[in-house]
Amino acid sequence: MRIAGTTRLAGIMGWPVAHSRSPVLHGFWLDETAVDGAYVPLAVRAENIGAALRALPILGFRGCNLTIPHKRTALSAVDRVDPLARRIGAVNTIIVMPDGTLEARNTDVFGFRESLREAAPDWCPGSGPAVVLGAGGSSRAVVAALTDAGVPEIRIVNRTLSRAEDVAHDIETPGTPITVHSWKEIYKVQRDAGLLVNTTSLGMAGEPPLIVDLLLPPTAPVIDIVYVPLETRLLTAARRRGNPVVDGLGMLLHQGRPGFEAWFGAAVSVTPKLRAAIVATLAPPN
């Protein structure tokens, strides 16, 4: 990559930001498309997010991604929030508009939808209720995507029931009832399910394991949005009983596409070569 006076600029704001794979992801696409662009990590503390976002048009940036701890607080620091992002209550992509105003979007819904479409193309939304484990920020995007896909019902299983109730309240639409359940009900809610998604941090490297006996029909896709490790215990168990499986890397990669296309003006895709490049960054250090 060579930076010139004409180079288009974007990046990712987070604190910490060094762990983010987004610079590798966008760097891959910049090389592949030969766009004159650069995507840089921007270490921005929580208290500086408003000032940092306001600096984007001043510095000539096309926009940025946001990661922890900015996904919610940025909502009040921009000029416009896309209705979908408003509904989810979190944003991950900022676009600097031609007039210098800031528009915030949430591309996790797109990322989840595309990842599911790619890895479980035979899944039919009408096949049964969807079981969603977890009620954090990722759960909100997954629940919105499943609602929009037209699943007949969503069952959220979470340790803290009030958080699940908040998700249901914020995202439910008339066509898709959302019910909330404690972990004690994990077996009951699965039996007639058409899909199961883990959005909790359980099973992630360094976190407690996710221990669930799978009882759902073998045709139902099992999705884990955890991607370190890529093959989680949940996915191994699902694979063994013949369920279609969807790992967490697809969502991570696809969610980056809309931002790249808006900032750099080139369409990009998720290819095996890209997956391999990112997987290489996930390997634990020796």
Quick check: 200 binds ligand ATR (CB under 6 A)?
A: yes
Quick check: 137 binds ligand ATR (CB under 6 A)?
A: yes
Quick check: 14 binds ligand ATR (CB under 6 A)?
A: no
Quick check: 239 binds ligand ATR (CB under 6 A)?
A: no
Quick check: 159 binds ligand ATR (CB under 6 A)?
A: yes
Query: Nearest-CB residue to ligand ATR?
Result: 136
Quick check: 106 binds ligand ATR (CB under 6 A)?
A: no
Quick check: 139 binds ligand ATR (CB under 6 A)?
A: yes
Report the residue from 201, 230, 275, 277 that binds ligand ATR according to the rule CB under 6 A: 201
Report the residue from 16, 150, 175, 208 that binds ligand ATR according to the rule CB under 6 A: 208
Quick check: 163 binds ligand ATR (CB under 6 A)?
A: yes
* Other beta carbons less than 10 A from residue 99's beta carbon: 7
CB of 94 to ligand ATR, least distance (A): 18
Q: Nearer Cβ to ligand ATR, position 7 or 201?
A: 201
Interface residues with ligand ATR (CB under 6 A)?
Answer: 134-139, 158-160, 163, 199-202, 208
Q: Which residues are catalytic?
A: 71
